[in-house]
Every structure is written in structure tokens, then in C-alpha cells.
């Protein structure tokens, strides 16, 4: 495939670190060219990736080009965007105030592009191609909440009343269901999925996208656990996002913020569920090391989150997690 693409023989192939998915990546070097090879046995997921990539490129969204794919559509070659993620930029510099302006500008660039992806491209997106869900509906919310309960909460000695917690989950699901879902929701818009190449941002891992609300992707970016963004910077970027979005579409800011708190809560709980599955169940150290940071985020968003006034059992669970000393920071 590499030879068919560029006419060169491959001189070296390097396996890249495995992520949380079933996809495997390899960097292939030729004399003058290089590419990333991806193997994923899930054909439908690959087909969505191919179609979304074609669409985003047509909308001038910076995503990797697809060079070649095999007949089964399980193996494909894409543009090599290097090794620098926005996550690596942030984590390498976040503790040095000197680099805060650089981080701020990258975040602003990411937010401007996010708004374009959600609103401008979202208006033209064919959501029927989305997989496994076409909309962030009640089943998606329930999945995230049960993901947290099954893979994280049930792994710990944190007591809760199943009936009352389920009642809280239903309330939260119904509440989120009232928010407008007319936009493209990237689903995993976090700094690990944003590549930095020559000062420009490129976006990857969007094949789980679907129609949904605006707030989820912003929460994913600003409350990524290991990024450790200062709360003041998060609030500044939230204000910046609202200014950008209001230039593209009319929104009720007060209504947006009410749903933002609830959706941020869901995102952080879903993240803890992922860390429980990939870390506690599958033993992947990166995910285990991320747990205390996600718990810190949970504590931060629970302090002034009005939705928790209607979720007494979940509020109690969060309070008990605050006092759980199972995890310590690196």
C-alpha cells in the first residue's frame, strides 16, 4: 500500500503506542515519504471515518488526508502529522507561567475550529452516517452514566442506594434531553486528539461524532483530566467560546450555561468510567494515573453545580468520593 501510494519501498515500520481503542497505528518510512498505517477490524467504524474525513476536508477542516485503504477497509494509510499533540504541549508547559500565553492561544485556536466544526460543518453533515449513534439522545446519556456506575463506582467500596441513584440518572437524562441537539458533537474533543504541526492544529479521532448539543465538546476539552488546566483559564476559555459561537449562531447564554454544568458533570463521570475500564479492569497504567485528576475535576464542578440540587443520591456519591483516599497524585 505504501509503495502504491508514493512509489517508494518502505525502509522501516515502527509500531506506535496503543490507545484505548482497538485501532493499531504504525509509522512507515520511505526514502522521501512517510505515512501512518492504521489497522482497525471494525469496518463500519472505518467507513464512518473515511466519510467524515472526506466531508471535513471539503469543509476545509484540518484533518489527516487518507492515502490508501485495502479492499476490506480494515487497513489504511493516512497523513503523518508527527508526534506533537496539544496535550503534550499543555502538559509540558502548564506548570510554567511563562508559557501560559502560548497555551492560551492554542486553546483559542482549538475553540475557533471547534465552533466551525460544530456549527458551520454541522449544518451540512449527513448524520445518518454516524455510528454507533446518530444523535446524543437519552440512550447515549444513560450509557455514559451506567458506564461510570459499572466500571468505576462498583469497583470501589462507595455505598449508594441503587434505586435512588437510578432515579437521579433518569432526572439528569431527562434534563439533558431538553437541550437543543442541532450541531455536530465530536464526542471526544480532547487535546490528545489535536495534533500540532508547524504551529497549526489538526484534528483526529472524530469517527464517534454525532448530532448533539454544543456543550459536550467544550467540556471535553476544558476538563480533560491530565491536562490540568487552571480553573481560571477554563472560565476564560468558556467566555471566549461563547463569543465565538455567538458570531456563528444565535444562542441563549444563560440557557447554555445551565446545560453546560449538567453536561460537564456527565462528561467527567463518563471519563471516570473509561479510566475504570481501561485502567482498573485492563491494567493500563496511564488510565490509572489519570483517575485522581478526574476526581479533582469532579470535585471542582460539583461545588457550584445547580443540577446537583436535584440529584441527592449522586451528590452523596460525589461527597463520598471526595473522602476516598484510594488514589494519590504522581
Mind listing the pLDDT tens digit for each residue in 68-119? Answer: 999 999 999 999 999 999 999 999 999 999 999 999 999 999 999 999 999 9
| 109 in the same domain as 42 | no
Of 54, 78, 102, the residue that ends a domain is 78
Choosing from 33, 50, 78, the residue where a domain stops is 78
> Are 42 and 168 contained in the same domain?
no
| Pair 251, 276 in one domain | yes
pLDDT over threshold 80, residue 19: no
- Return the ∠ at Cα 294 (arms to 292 and 300), rounded to 5°: 105
* Claim to verify: residue 130 and residue 153 sit in the same structural domain: yes
- The pLDDT value recorded for residue 20 is 67
Residue 149 lies in a domain: yes
Q: What is the pLDDT of residue 22?
A: 83
Cell of 290: 489519570
CATH number at residue 31: 3.30.200
Closest of 173, 151, 144 to residue 311, by C-alpha: 173
Name the DSSP class of 279: I
- Taking the model in full, what pTM does it have? 0.95
Averaged pLDDT for residues 261-273: 97
Long-range Cβ pairs for the range 3-7 (8 Å, 24+): 4/68, 5/33, 5/35, 5/67, 5/68, 5/77, 6/30, 6/32, 6/33, 6/35
Domain assignment of residue 328, yes or no: no
Are residues 214 and 135 part of one domain? yes
pLDDT-based confidence at residue 328 (cuts at 50, 70, 90): low
Q: Are strands 183-185 and 210-212 parallel, antiparallel or unpaired?
A: antiparallel
Q: Which residues contact 71 (CB under 8 A, 6 or more apart)?
A: none
Residue 327 belongs to a domain: no
Q: Please indicate, yes or no, whether residues 63 and 109 belong to a single structural domain of this protein.
A: no
- Shared-domain flag, residues 74 and 125: no
**What is the mean pLDDT of the segment spanning 189-201?**
97
330: in domain: no
Judge if 169 and 46 occupy the same domain: no
**pLDDT tens readout for residues 221-252:** 999 999 999 999 999 999 999 999 999 999 99
The CATH number linked to 133 is 3.90.1200.10
156 and 293 belong to one structural domain: yes
- Domain containing 11: what range? 2-78
58 occurs within a structural domain: yes
Residues 170 and 136 placed together within one structural domain of the fold: yes
CB atoms within 10 A of CB 182: 14
- Return the C-alpha cell found at 179: 437541550
Q: How many separate domains does the chain show?
A: 2
Do residue 64 and residue 91 come from a single domain? no
Whether 102 and 31 map to the same domain: the answer is no
Between CA 304 and CA 84 the distance in angstroms is: 35
> Which residue, 43, 78, 113, sits at the end of a domain?
78
Amino acid at each position: 500500500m505504501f509503495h502504491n501510494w508514493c512509489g517508494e519501498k518502505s525502509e522501516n515500520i515502527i509500531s506506535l503506542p496503543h490507545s484505548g481503542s482497538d485501532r493499531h497505528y504504525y509509522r512507515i518510512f520511505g526514502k522521501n515519504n512517510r505515512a501512518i498505517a492504521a489497522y482497525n477490524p471494525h469496518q463500519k467504524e472505518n467507513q464512518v471515518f473515511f466519510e467524515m474525513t472526506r466531508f471535513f476536508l471539503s469543509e476545509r477542516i484540518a484533518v489527516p488526508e487518507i492515502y490508501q485503504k485495502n479492499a476490506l477497509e480494515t487497513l489504511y494509510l493516512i497523513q503523518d502529522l508527527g508526534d506533537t499533540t496539544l496535550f503534550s504541549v499543555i502538559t509540558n508547559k502548564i506548570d510554567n507561567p511563562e508559557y501560559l500565553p502560548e497555551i492560551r492561544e492554542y486553546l483559542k485556536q482549538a475553540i475557533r475550529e471547534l465552533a466551525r466544526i460544530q456549527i458551520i460543518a454541522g449544518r451540512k453533515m449527513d448524520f445518518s452516517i454516524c455510528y454507533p449513534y446518530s444523535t446524543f439522545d437519552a440512550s447515549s446519556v444513560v450509557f455514559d452514566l451506567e458506564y461510570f456506575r459499572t466500571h468505576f463506582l462498583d469497583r470501589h467500596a462507595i455505598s449508594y442506594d441503587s434505586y435512588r441513584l437510578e432515579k437521579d440518572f433518569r432526572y439528569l437524562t431527562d434534563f439533558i434531553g431538553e437541550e437543543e441537539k442541532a450541531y455536530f458533537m465530536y464526542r471526544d474533543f480532547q487535546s490528545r486528539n489535536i495534533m500540532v504541526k508547524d504551529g497549526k492544529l489538526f484534528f483526529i479521532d472524530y469517527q464517534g461524532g454525532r448530532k448533539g448539543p454544543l456543550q459536550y465538546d467544550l467540556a471535553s476539552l476544558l476538563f480533560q483530566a491530565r491536562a490540568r488546566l487552571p480553573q481560571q483559564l477554563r472560565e476564560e476559555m468558556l467566555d471566549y467560546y461563547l463569543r465565538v459561537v455567538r458570531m456563528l449562531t444565535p444562542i441563549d447564554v444563560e440557557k447554555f450555561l445551565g446545560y453546560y454544568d449538567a453536561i460537564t458533570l456527565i462528561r467527567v463521570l463518563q471519563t471516570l468510567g473509561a479510566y475504570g475500564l481501561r485502567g482498573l479492569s485492563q491494567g493500563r497504567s496511564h488510565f490509572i494515573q489519570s483517575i485522581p485528576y478526574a476526581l479533582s475535576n469532579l470535585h471542582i464542578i460539583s461545588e457550584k453545580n445547580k443540577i446537583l440540587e436535584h440529584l441527592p443520591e449522586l451528590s452523596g456519591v460525589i461527597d463520598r468520593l471526595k473522602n476516598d483516599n484510594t488514589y494519590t497524585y504522581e
